[in-house]
Structure 1
Amino acid sequence: MQDGQLSIANLLRHGSRIHGGAEVVTWTGAEARRSTFAEVGQEAARLAHALRGLGVTSDQRVGTFMWNNNEHLVAYLAVPAMGAVLHTLNIRLFPEQLTYVANHAEDHVVLVDGTLVPLLAKVLPTFETVRHVVVVNGDPSSLQAPEGVTVHSYAELLDGQPDEFEWPVVDENAAAAMCYTSGTTGDPKGVVYTHRSIWLHSMQVCMTDSMALSQADRALVIVPQFHAMSWGLPYAALMVGASLIMPDRFLQPEPLAAMIAAEKPTMAGAVPTIWQGLLALLDQKPQDLAPLGRAVVGGSACPPSLMAAFDKLGVTIIHAWGMTETSPLGSVSRPPAGLSPEDAWEYRILQGRFPASVRARLVDDDGNELPWDNEAVGELECAGPWVAAAYYRVEPGQEGSEKFSPDGWLRTGDVGAITPDGFLRLTDRSKDIIKSGGEWISSVDLENAVMSHPAVAEAAVIGVPDEKWSERPLVAVVLRSGEKTTPAELQSFLSDKVAKWQLPENWTFIDEVPKTSVGKFDKKRLRAAAADGSLDIAHLT
């Protein structure tokens, strides 16, 4: 058989030619601007020529500090196709973390959206290796760059550049892109994706028992392009010709509802908090979501109550699990065929079934492998062609290297069980499990149970010290607008949903659950608030 390279350049050639009529739609606030995949291909060539002129000649890192939009898609394609490495900078990281990742990756050029210039300006003087900043859809004069950094206009830089580029032959195992973890402990860690890993991952996104992306789809890509490569949706779209709807900076429930009404997406991808916000809006302002038929939800466990609510709206939420280190697709919950709706539901609320390319195992605290019986609980470890083998520039023995087992498997930090037919049931993150009286309490199970109460919008559960039991759960509750309830009522509501010894005695009502840079519950901040006494905690007897 012939040995063809699985490269982003070949994916770009394919998508812009075979699927040249597909489009990328970028929301502008009231309406959309559009480019076809053929036009994206031409713009990618112009960007590649421009970057060559800025000294990007081999595998230099090109950072993006951008929202989901047409120009970000162009960078997704042009940078790796020309042999350089795309580095998506998470705009929601703390300033010191942004400084760390830009310097650790040794970014040479940064593309920044005009609306994000003020945010970048605060940290740009700390970026030691950046020599050029390209302002996209904005005024470059608005950025006062430090000495040694030249600021360019994206439009002017690309103006007059050729619409074709001689894409080099790149080894499929070479680096194509990189993301850094959100750094909840220690410094963020760099994960490098290869051309091959992205190609294989894209194929999996398109498979029918996965996200089932196809040329018939219009995909609303809410999950940020700066987080885990937007779950691989941009590259998969080029593979099959699915049109992309990009929300840019308009991520609030109202503009998302307007996008759905105007652009008629058939599928979408976002973390649970996005769908919770949209659901709250739809409760107040009902809207027909058709033809939106499915939404892939990952990033954190999706409450079953949220899935049930969208079922009533005609949208099937498909539970998925993954992480930056798994590109991120690790599992997708497509129930086995032939089940009744009731039995299928029991599979839908799980984190999903592992595809052929992702190997999984559970291990206990002593490193012993556990059976797949849906009862034994241990830490999930993964291996496969789109699973990280190491962190970028982390040597054995350094902080972060312990995330990989001696035989090369990724230690995910997620704790759960696996069914005999390969479905993952996560119970918690290892750092979030509550150990009470020698027994484990799943914060995720408690959160899902509390959020099934009609008055509750969000609930986050953490462990707090207890003299008798070592730890007990504390439930932080956000109420729906106009709703009221009490800790005693909520505890009573849980009485037939969890074991008696798991019933929380500690409750607090808050305005909003703090979130991480990628929309997950930030339990570290909740623990700090509980420890310093800033939460008003009710203690039931």
Structure 2
Amino acid sequence: MDAELSITTIMRHAEMVAHGTEIVSSMNDDAIHRYTYADAFRRCRQLANALDALKLSADARVGTLAWNDYRHFELHYAVPCSGRICHTINPKLFLDQIRFIIRDAGDEALFIDPQFLPLIESIQAELPSVRHWIALCAQSELPTSSLPDLCSYESLLAAQPAEFDWPTLDEQRASGLCYTSGTTGNPKGVLGCHRSVVLHGMAQNMASCVGLTPEDTVMPLVPMFHVNAWGMPYTAPMAGAKLVLPGAHVADASRMVDLINSEGVTYSLAVPTLWSGINNYLEQSGATVSTLKRGVIGGAAGAMRLYEDMDRHGVRLENGWGMTELSPMGSYNRILDRHQDSDTEAGRSQRLKSGQPLFGMQLRIVDEDGNSLPHDGEASGVLEVRAPWACSAYFGAGQEHTWFSTGDVATIDPNGYLQITDRVKDVIKSGGEWISSIDIENVVMSHPGVREAVVIGVSHPHWSERPLLLIVPEEQQELSPHLILKFLQDKLPKWWIPNACEFVDELPHTATGKVSKKSLRDLYTHYQWPDSLAN
């Protein structure tokens, strides 16, 4: 039979098989909100009625600026299942970027966490498409605001019935819009459809990937505005798993550990900095996380010692790779029995790979002329992808991709394991040979005295470019640039070892938390190599 793959099918499935399963939210005021999938989807029907009452157009873009909580979860269903487009906006972006994104998307309504109201008030006059402003709070919590006719989310829902006739939607209908962080130029919109969301969730839930079950309790530390918390608002209900939404305080490791323990979290998702914070808290406090068995680490490469430390805490970290344009997951490194020997160099190397492609995701690497390169684990080229959940074109752009060029440099081994070695714009070309900045950073981060490290290519009079290592050292460590470079001597090819190392108090970061290598390259454009290393 031909049945449409729509987000509505996820909602109906979860209502049937997991109606009593909980969604738990940690709120800004430290309160815990607790209800079931049945409760959530009843409120989604009220919200869908409210969207109609606001007279939003049939394919309206509806913007959100919010953390991970139950109201944001409801928007992820009511908006697309009513036929409209849920546009998640990263409130941590620069103000000019937020202004551009809302204008480019043409959002008709904005649903805003109260803490972000001042931000939107400052640009309200420059957002002509927005007709409705809704604060994600109760009427009693509604602050005074200059936004015209600002209403509270709860009063909006209270006026509506709990019955709604969900429309039958074409699976190719647009469902969600998320913008890239725009490290070069303006952010670009990635428009997903119902079919892509469902297929992405099904691929994630295969046993060789994330593989959630109804016995899991899932806590995404990554925000919903980072490509739907890496898919979890859809993937977890699809599996009938309990969902724990941590709110705004994800960087508070103590709170997160308490939440893991109180709710029995079994699986979590976070970037390396958040996992590192949890690891440090566990080490210093002596606390445990007995229920947490697995977690995915993504967004950037983690240091091997972080994986080993979390192993000792009983948590198996598994790499995931993806990007906004892939909705977002492209590959996953599920740790199998045959990979358990991480004490060997081969085992550690396997652990740090980005994993095998999800079913449905095609990968290839190509040279500068577009020729395919072998999957032998040695050949390195630009990574290109194809998948039902990869964007065919950016929002508002006419040019469509046959294969999407990720901008990553990678290898693929004979078993299909992907290893990201650099970004095309970050790779260092020294004397005609490529040097991977990521590989150097991974080795440097294994040193216990290093808190943060980055490698950039800097102009060199003889070699065209050479790697410069910049380090934020741990406090109270007996460390020097000379000792760091000596530490690298037997761990990297000799010609890869940076020509110099500089200690800095902090590194610049983008709005999404990644180290801004572009800013560093600009800052060190005229760097003077030490005389002894200039030749």
TM-score by length of 2: 0.95
Q: How far does residue 441 in structure 1 lie from its aligned partner after superposition? A: 1.1
Alignment of 1:277-426 (within 5 A): 277-335=277-335, 338-339=338-339, 341-342=341-342, 344-396=347-399, 404=401, 408-426=402-420
Q: Per-residue deviation at 1:23?
A: 1.4
Unpaired runs of 5+ in structure 2? none
2:241: which partner in 1? 242
Deviates more, 1:521-530 or 1:453-462: 521-530
Summarize the Cα distance change of 1:447–1:438 in structure 2 as closer, same or farther, 3 Å threshold.
same
Alignment equivalent of 1:451, drawn from 445, 451, 460: 445
For the Cα contact (< 8 Å) 1:231–1:328, is it kept in 2? yes
> Are the aligned partners of 1:506 and 1:539 in contact in 2 as well (CA < 8 Å)?
no
- RMSD across aligned C-alpha pairs, in angstroms? 1.8
Specify the alignment match of 1:107 in structure 2: 107
| Range with bigger deviation, 77-86 or 519-528 | 519-528
Greater shift after overlay, 6-15 or 490-499?
6-15
Kept in 1, the 8 Å contact 2:204–2:358? The answer is no
The DSSP-based 3-state class of the residue aligned with 1:21 is: coil
Output the amino acid matched with 1:443.
S
SS of structure 2 residue aligned to 1:16: helix
CA distance in 2, matches of 1:50, 1:164: 11
Q: How far has the Cα of 1:532 moved from its partner? A: 7.2
Q: By how many angstroms is 1:160 displaced?
A: 3.2
C-alpha distance in 2, partners of 1:58/1:484? 63
Tell me, in whole angstroms, the C-alpha distance in 1 between the residues paired with 2:209 and 2:266.
15
User: Please, which runs of 5 or more residues in structure 1 have no aligned partner?
Assistant: none
Q: How far 1:98 sits from its partner (Å)?
A: 0.9
Q: 1:114 to 1:540 in 2, by over 3 A?
A: farther
- Written as runs of structure 1 = structure 2, the 5 A alignment for 1:216-295 is 216-252=215-251, 253-295=253-295
Any conservation in 2 of the 1:271–1:519 contact (CA below 8 Å)? Answer: no
1:163 deviates by 1.3
Shift of 1:125: 2.3
The aligned counterpart of 2:77 is 77
1:513 maps to which residue? 507
Q: Which amino acid aligns with 2:43?
A: E
Give aligned-pair identity as a percent. 39
Give the distance between the partners of 2:361 and 2:372, measured in 1 at CA.
17
1:50-89 deviation digits (Å, cap 9, x = unpaired): 1111112411000001011100000001000000000001
Deviations 1:92-149 (A, max 9, x none): 111111111111111000100112212222222221200101001264443212xxx4
The alignment partner of 2:108 has SS state of strand
Structure 1 window deviating more from structure 2 (478-487 vs 458-467): it is 478-487
Secondary structure in 2 aligned to 1:103? helix
CA distance in 2, matches of 1:276, 1:538: 33
| Correspondence for 2:471 among 436, 460, 477 | 477
Q: For residue 380 of structure 1, what is the amino acid of its counterpart? A: L
Alignment partner of 1:461 out of 455, 458, 466: 455
**In 2, Cα distance between equivalents of 1:71 and 1:537:** 53
Secondary structure at the aligned position of 1:62 is classed as strand
State the one-letter code of the partner of 2:299.
G
CA distance, structure 1, for counterparts of residue 436 and residue 63 of structure 2: 38
Q: Cα deviations across residues 410-434 of structure 1 (Å, max 9, x unaligned)?
A: 0000001100110001110000101
Summarize the Cα distance change of 1:297–1:489 in structure 2 as closer, same or farther, 3 Å threshold: same
CA 1:299–1:228 in 2, change beyond 3 Å: closer, same or farther?
Answer: same
Matched residue of 1:284: which SS? Answer: helix
Does the aligned pair in 2 maintain the 1:507–1:538 contact within 8 Å? no
- Offset of 1:335 from its aligned partner? 4.6
Give SS of 2:177's match. strand
List, as ranges, runs of 4+ consecutive aligned residues in structure 1 with deviation greater than 3 Å: 138-141, 335-340, 342-346, 536-541
Aligned to 1:175: 174
| Residue in structure 1 matched with residue 19 of structure 2 by the alignment | 20
Name 1:120's counterpart in structure 2: 120
Q: CA separation in 2, counterparts of 1:382 and 1:86?
A: 25
Check whether the contact 1:97–1:188 (CA below 8 A) recurs between aligned residues.
yes
Q: Secondary structure at the match of 2:9?
A: helix
Deviation at 1:205, TM superposition (A): 1.5
**2:466 aligns to what SS in structure 1?**
strand
Deviates more, 1:307-316 or 1:408-417: 307-316
Contact 1:336 1:344 in 2 (8 A): no
Call closer, same or farther: CA 1:539–1:347 in 2, change over 3 Å: farther
Letter in structure 2 aligned against 1:388: C
In structure 1, the partner of 2:485 is 491
Deviations 1:430-462 (A, max 9, x none): 001011111111111111111100111211111
Question: Does the CA contact (< 8 Å) of 1:335 and 1:344 recur in 2?
Answer: no
1:500: Cα distance to partner?
A: 1.2
Q: Which amino acid aligns with 2:226?
A: H
8 Å Cα contact 2:385-2:404 kept in structure 1:
yes
Between Structure 1 and Structure 2, how many residues are aligned? 526
Q: Is the 8 A contact 1:143 1:151 kept in 2?
A: yes
1:91 aligns to 2:94 (yes or no): no
Letter in 2 for 1:214: T
Partners of 1:268 and 1:339 in 2: CA distance:
21
Q: What SS does the corresponding residue of 1:360 show, helix, strand or coil?
A: strand
Using the alignment, how far apart are the partners of 2:531 and 2:57 within structure 1? 63
User: 1:457 aligns to what SS in structure 2?
Assistant: strand
Q: CA deviation at 1:269?
A: 0.3
- Given that 2:485 and 2:501 are in contact with CA atoms closer than 8 Å, whether structure 1 keeps it comes out as no
- Is the CA contact (8 Å cut-off) linking 2:109 and 2:130 kept in structure 1? yes
- AA aligned to 1:217 is D
Equivalent position SS for 1:80: helix
Deviates more, 1:452-461 or 1:280-289: 280-289
Kept in 2, the 8 Å contact 1:24–1:35? The answer is: yes
- Could you tell me how far apart the structure 2 residues matched to 1:362 and 1:323 are? 17
- What is the aligned partner in structure 2 of residue 144 from structure 1? 146
CA distance in 1, matches of 2:297, 2:204: 13
TM-score, L = length of structure 1: 0.94
Question: Could you tell me which residue of structure 1 aligns to residue 65 of structure 2?
Answer: 65
CA contact (8 A) 1:334 1:348 kept: no
Corresponding position of 2:429? 435
Paired letter, 2:374 = P
